[in-house]
Amino acid sequence: MRGTAFIFCLFSLACLFISCDEDSLVGAGLLGEESLNIDFTDTLDVKAKTISGDSVFVYRPGISSRTYLLGNNNESTFGRMESRLFIQPEIGFGTPDFRMDELDSMVLILKYDSLGFYGDTMASHTISLFQLDESLVDVEEDSLYSNQIFNYPMTNIGSRSFNRISAFDSTEVFDPLQDSMVNLFPQLRIPLEMSFAEVLFKDTTNNTQDSSFRAITRGFILEDETENSMIGLDMFRTTNSDTSNRLLVYYKDTSEMSRTYSYSVAGVRGTTFEYDFGGSEVEGILDDETRGDSLLYLQSTGGVSIVLNLSSALERVNDLLNYAEIEMTVAEMPIFDTDLFPPTPNLVASFRNEEGSLEIIEDIVLSYTEVFDGSLRSV
């Protein structure tokens, strides 16, 4: 998912049905001597409310997304939201036979993505890795949603604490192949527990075929214990082995030469999101149209959404509607820290089709031609 960073807005609302204010001879060939009066109104009744959001796609086969979130946020407006990252390691290129080799360590490496950092950027982090009880192989051909629930034991297979995480600072690590320290791209590195890594390393029967390897690894999930701080991870699939996300094996062969091997983590991957609105401002206004008359709450990642009822436009049966534009203004109130929690930069609208399913409005496609605009602008 191009995992939009966890960001929210509070809006006041106006709905404008707009054109120019002069008569026109547009369509004169059809109207004869008549003129077409073009006018606008901004007095239509728009009913609005905030509702609990629906789940969103976090994994679709064949689609490679970039920004994934890890961490949680807990504040008075929206309550608590927590995100976990799940991944499925896969065989890389030409798996060696490790039976006669000696394992040094096994490290999960994931690239940081500055687009996903949110909340307290100076916070310390403790990130843990767990093995799933169920195999992600079973869901490989299916789309996964943000409310997907995975079971896993409380005992982690790897963990690491950080004083601070930055998406812009290079990472210094020891490279046994060069026998020296090297600077690498900004990355999260989680060493696996040797007891788990040793079993995986020596299971040559299963770690040389993709299907069997995925079956024994089952899939991993990451948690971040830090409060009110989220980090972004760039999970875009790339063929560059030096900058790819991977499970890196450090080992020595029978001649005591230091070597490495990389398992890929570019297969099934996504994020789960859990919400708790208890005690928050949002909890008290959900599905309330009377409150929606003045304030609306919007949260990305599928937290809360806005519903607009524009049926009043249908009452203008004698008018030919040119176009309608909805204007929403970010609420500027002292209690909302828009520096720490910036507004969402883009809005996407859907409608219920005849089958009752949500469908993206056509304007979204046209917006890429700059005919329409769904972006947040400063005026």
Q: What is the DSSP string of 187-256?
A: EEEEEBPHHHHHHHHH-TTTTTSHHHHHHHH--EEEEE--SSEEEEEE----S-TTTS-EEEEEEE-TT-
Q: Answer whether residue 362 shows pLDDT above 70.
A: yes
Mean pLDDT of 210-237: 89
pLDDT at 21: 45
pLDDT at 222: 97
Per-residue tokens: 226: 């830090």
Q: How far is Cα of residue 149 from the mean position of the Cα atoms in its chain?
A: 16
Three-state DSSP class for 134?
coil
User: Token match 């082995």: residue?
Assistant: 241
Label residue 378 by pLDDT band (50, 70, 90): low
Q: How far is Cα of residue 356 from the mean position of the Cα atoms in its chain?
A: 26
Mean pLDDT of 309-335: 80
Mean pLDDT of 95-108: 88
Whole-model pTM? Answer: 0.79
- H/E stretch holding 289 reads helix 289-292
Label residue 247 by pLDDT band (50, 70, 90): very high
Q: Answer whether residue 52 shows pLDDT above 50.
A: yes
Is-contact 175 182, C-beta < 8 A?
A: yes
Q: Answer whether residue 76 shows pLDDT above 90.
A: no
Q: Answer whether residue 24 shows pLDDT above 60.
A: no
pLDDT at 140: 53
User: Token match 């369509």: residue?
Assistant: 27
Q: Answer whether residue 68 shows pLDDT above 50.
A: yes
pLDDT at 267: 82
Count Cα neighbours of 178 within 13 Å in the Cβ-side half-sphere: 7
For 147-192, the pLDDT digits (tens) are 888 999 999 999 999 999 999 988 888 888 888 888 888 999 999 9
Greater confidence (215 vs 253) lies with 253
Mean pLDDT of 260-282: 90
Is-contact 92 263, C-beta < 8 A?
A: yes
pLDDT at 64: 78
Q: Answer whether residue 78 shows pLDDT above 50.
A: yes
pLDDT at 28: 52
Per-residue tokens: 160: 């690491």
